[in-house]
A and B are shown apart, each in its own frame.
Chain A
Amino acid sequence: MAFVSSGYNPDKPMGDRITDIGPRHFEEFYPPVIKNNKGKWLYHEILEPGVYVHVSETGDEVYTVRVGGCRLMSVEHIREICEIADKHCGGYLRFTTRNNIEFMVDSKDKVKPLVDDLMSRKQDGGCYKFPVGGTGAGITNIIHTQGWIHCHTPATDASGPVKATMDVLFDDFRNMRLPAHLRVSLACCLNMCGAVHCSDIAILGYHRKPPMLDHEYLDKMCEIPLAISACPTAAIKPTKVKLDDGTEVKSVAVKNERCMFCGNCYTMCPSMPLADDVGDGIVIMAGGKVSNRISAPKFSKVVVAFLPNEAPRWPSTTSCIQKIVEAYANGARKYERLGEWAERIGWERFFEKCELEFTHHLIDDFRDPAYYTWRQTSNFKF
Chain B
Amino acid sequence: MAKHETPMLDQLETGPWPSFVTDIKRQAEARAKNEKGIDYQIPVDVCEDLLGVLELSYKHGRTHWKHGGIVGVFGYGGGVIGRYCDQPEQFPGVAHFHTMRVSQPAGKFYTTEYLKGLCDLWDFRGSGITNMHGSTGDIIFLGTTTPQLEEIFHELTHTFNQDLGGSGSNLRTPSDCIGAARCEFACYDTQAICHDLTNEYQDELHRPAFPYKFKFKFDGCPNCCVASIARSDLSFIGLWRDEIRVDEEAVAAYVGGEIVPNGGAHAGRDWGAFDIQKEVVDLCPTECMKYENGKLAINNKECNHCMHCINVMPRALRPGNDKGCAILAGAKAPILDGAQMGSLIVPFIKVEAPYTEIKETVIEPIWDWWMEEGKNRERLGELMKRQGLQKLLEATGFKPDARMVQEPRTNPYIFWKEDEVEGGWERDVNEFRKHHQR
Across-interface contacts of A7 in B (CB, < 8 A): 154, 158
Q: Is B402 an interface residue (CB 8 A)?
A: no
Q: Is A230 an interface residue (CB 8 A)?
A: yes
Q: Is B308 an interface residue (CB 8 A)?
A: yes
User: Which A residues from 184 to 234 make CB contacts under 8 A with B?
Assistant: 190-198, 226, 229-230, 232
- With beta carbons under 8 angstroms apart, the residue of A2, A152, A275, A369 that contacts B83 is A152
Across-interface contacts of A128 in B (CB, < 8 A): 16-18
- With beta carbons under 8 angstroms apart, the residue of A22, A41, A93, A297 that contacts B199 is A22
B147 touches A148 (CB 8 A): no
Per-position 1/0 for A91-105, Cβ under 8 A of B: 111111101010010
Given contacts A176-B266, A278-B61, contact A198 B223 (CB under 8 A): no
CA gap between A72 and B263 in the complex, in Å? 31
Q: Which residue of A lies closest to B136 (CB)?
A: A193
CA gap between A191 and B15 in the complex, in Å? 30
User: Which B residues from 68 to 111 make CB contacts under 8 A with A?
Assistant: 68, 74-76, 81, 83, 97, 99, 103-111
Q: Is B430 an interface residue (CB 8 A)?
A: no
A277 touches B60 (CB 8 A): yes
User: Which A residues from 231 to 270 make CB contacts under 8 A with B?
Assistant: 232, 262, 264, 266, 270
Q: Which residue of A lies closest to B51 (CB)?
A: A149
Tally chain A residues at the interface, Cβ within 8 Å: 148
B107 touches A123 (CB 8 A): no
How far is the CB of A55 from the nearest CB of chain B, in Å?
9
Q: Is A25 an interface residue (CB 8 A)?
A: yes
Across-interface contacts of A290 in B (CB, < 8 A): 224, 227, 229-230
Q: Is B322 an interface residue (CB 8 A)?
A: no
A-B contacts at CB below 8 angstroms, number: 447
Across-interface contacts of B41 in A (CB, < 8 A): 1, 3-4
CA gap between A85 and B109 in the complex, in Å? 12
Given contacts A75-B123, A125-B22, A148-B63, contact A20 B227 (CB under 8 A): no
Apart from the given pairs A125-B19, A164-B15, A292-B237, 19 other A-B contacts in the complex at a CB distance below 8 Å = A6-B154, A20-B163, A21-B202, A22-B195, A22-B202, A23-B173, A52-B263, A79-B116, A79-B119, A92-B110, A94-B107, A123-B13, A127-B13, A127-B15, A136-B263, A273-B67, A290-B227, A313-B11, A335-B312
- 23 A-B contacts, Cβ less than 8 Å apart? A4-B39, A6-B154, A8-B151, A21-B157, A21-B161, A23-B173, A25-B195, A44-B183, A72-B130, A74-B26, A95-B132, A125-B19, A131-B17, A137-B268, A148-B64, A175-B268, A276-B61, A293-B222, A294-B308, A297-B224, A312-B8, A313-B12, A335-B312
